[in-house]
Amino acid sequence: MKTSLKIAMITSECVPYAKTGGLADVVGSLPQALQALGHEVIVVMPKYSSIDAEKFDLQRRFDSMGVWMGNFLEWCAVDEANNEGVATYFIEADKYFRRDGLYHDANYNDFGDNPARFGFLTRAGLQLMRDLDFAPDIVHVHDWQTALAPAYLKTWHWDDPVLGGAASVLTIHNIAYQGKYDAGVYPYLGLGWQNFHADTFEDFGAINFLKGGIAYADALNTVSPTYADETRTPALGYGLAPYLNDRGRDYSGIVNGVDYSEWNPATDSLIPANYDAFYLSGKTKCKRALQERFGLDISREIPIVGVVSRMVDQKGLDVLAAAIEGIVRDMAVQFVVLGSGDKGLEAFYGRLPLAYPGRIGSYIGYSNELAHWIEAGSDFFIMPSRYEPCGLNQIYSLKYGTLPIVRATGGLEDTVEQYDEATGDGTGFKFYDLNPGSIYSTVGWAVSTFYDRPAHMKRMIQHAMAQDYSWEKSARQYLQLYEQAMDNKPG
Ligand code: ADP
Ligand code: GLC
């Protein structure tokens, strides 16, 4: 393999500029890790109106760049910023990105023009590489939004002097979101009807972006080995399992790394007190501050279970909703919940503090600071996910000595080690069936461990905080995947 690769990522979100979920964390830190290993990475993303150009010191790179969409020539501008050493480019196209929200409006209605918006982003990203004369060895794209890139490379740019040498890699962060739209948009995307068939983009007459990405990418992965296995089955493949299976060993799972410069209790500047595995008294301070902030009874003797989550079907918070009141009635435990999304769940969790004053606190909305406070101040962190491609919060929890209580699925299965009551080994508490009863009994197991087996708690906290999910290991696995993609690329 070449000692230094040129890698271009196109993405719909990236920390610190725009984030709705873990995708942004990943694309905000994997490039730095690859650069640290001696490779050159650029990132291309939209210039959403929520991005503060001044704060992030965006500089104009191109006043106008022409992008061919089907038979239309569209125009955009391009800005540039330095994201901790990674050149990041922003596609400015007011008709597509100058509005509130990344994917949907304030009422969670998807924007009707999303296929055109993200098709355009992808095509503009490739055009930009040509205008920059950046000839990538790898074009790495993420989720349905940018999943057209492999097809563009193979149908339009295969003999292009800048892009012709690029192999493509697609990472699936969540297979439930596929970008399935009326085929009316297909001509605008400019992929040619000859490429619209059941093995590529066509999906019961509609266009399916992710399906096309799976067909055209030179190699692909998802974000944990267990989720890679699960998506190969009808239950969690959301209709795409056969196409993933067709790709055989070109499809694999790589667990996400996390950015410990942001998520480390020893250095975290957002939390009330710092601590590490040898000096845990800071964690007690964080717990007290959390109880104060959420109006909970102040006591270090009562365990707190934290939740930080998008309130969507995937996360299983509806099942937790059916269990939480019984738990709080029967056990001496507190909950702190942070999240937003589904209106019914927002209303439910929003009013719990009124029904259980001093016992349950909640904040409906998005707050990075509170996310850090909850990771630091809680004793346990619960994720009752229906499915979880990787999950980052449980990995953050490990580092904060906040033991995860998780459904054993996807990345949760791969990153949390089950508690062994005989020895005190393990890093968290796992349950297998998703129903209120198993949530109740597993929280009960954690709570009884807190009260009855403090030596085990201590041992697990030490073991959890010693886990290392820094990016270097995962970045090396991505390099192997890139190599595989370059081998697979047709000559
Ligand atoms: P997903 O990407 O499916 O939402 P992950 O666990 O991979 O799940 O990543 C979620 C990320 O989003 C974490 O960094 C988490 O802290 C953050 N997050 C989710 N909801 C909120 C919220 N309401 N406020 C602040 N951060 C949030
Ligand atoms: C998706 C998944 C989540 C994963 C994240 C980053 O949002 O839901 O499990 O951690 O992508 O890969």
Q: Residue 47: pLDDT above 90?
A: yes
pLDDT of residue 143: 98
Mutation probe of ligand 2 site: the residue of 23, 314, 388, 409 with most atoms within 8 A of C-beta: 23
Domain range for 427: 281-465
pTM, entire model: 0.96
Residue of 111, 17, 27 lying closest to 58 (CA atoms): 17
Closest CA to ligand 2's atom 7: 22
Residue of 189, 48, 169, 192 lying closest to 115 (CA atoms): 189
299 shares a domain with 224: no
Residue 452 burial by Cβ neighbours in a 10 Å radius (0-12, 13-18, 19+): exposed
Residue of 265, 288, 285 lying closest to 275 (CA atoms): 265
CATH of the domain at 118: 3.40.50.2000
Q: CB–CB of 88/61 below 8 Å?
A: no
Ligand 2 centroid to 174 CA: how many Å?
Answer: 6
Residue of 129, 260, 169 lying closest to 479 (CA atoms): 169
Closest CA to ligand 2's atom 1: 173
Task: Tell me, using a 6 A CB cutoff, whether residue 371 lines ligand 1.
Answer: yes
Residues 129-135, mean pLDDT to the nearest whole number: 98
Cα(406)–Cα(427) distance, rounded to whole angstroms?
A: 11
433 shares a domain with 364: yes
399 shares a domain with 343: yes
pLDDT of residue 1: 67
Task: Tell me, using a 6 A CB cutoff, whether residue 366 lines ligand 1.
Answer: yes
pLDDT tier at 491 (50, 70, 90 boundaries)? confident
204 shares a domain with 178: yes
Q: CB–CB of 341/312 below 8 Å?
A: yes
Task: Tell me, using a 6 A CB cutoff, whether residue 412 lines ligand 1.
Answer: no
480 shares a domain with 352: no
300 shares a domain with 199: no
Q: pLDDT tens, 58-88?
A: 999 999 999 999 999 999 999 999 999 999 9
Ligand 1 centroid to 311 CA: how many Å?
Answer: 10
Ligand 1 centroid to 22 CA: how many Å?
Answer: 6
Q: How many CA atoms lie within 13 A of 124 on its CB side?
A: 32
Closest CA to ligand 2's atom 5: 22
484 shares a domain with 446: no
Q: Residue 106: pLDDT above 90?
A: no
458 shares a domain with 371: yes
Q: pLDDT tens, 278-304?
A: 999 999 999 999 999 999 999 999 999
Place of tokens 């266009």: 207
- Residue 1 inside a domain? The answer is no
* Count: domains in the chain: 2
Kindly identify the ligand whose nearest atom is closest to the C-alpha of 393: 1
Task: Tell me, using a 6 A CB cutoff, whether residue 393 lines ligand 1.
Answer: yes
Cβ-proximal residues to 404 (8 Å cutoff; 6+ apart), any chain: 380, 381, 382, 383, 394, 397, 398, 412, 416, 427, 428, 429
pLDDT of residue 420: 98
Q: CB–CB of 14/102 below 8 Å?
A: no
Residue of 259, 277, 490 lying closest to 392 (CA atoms): 259
- Residue 269 inside a domain? The answer is no
User: Which residues face 335 on adjacent strands?
Assistant: 305, 360
238 shares a domain with 309: no
Ligand 1 atom nearest 315 alpha carbon: 3
216 shares a domain with 295: no
Ligand 1 centroid to 308 CA: how many Å?
Answer: 7
Cβ-proximal residues to 483 (8 Å cutoff; 6+ apart), any chain: 1
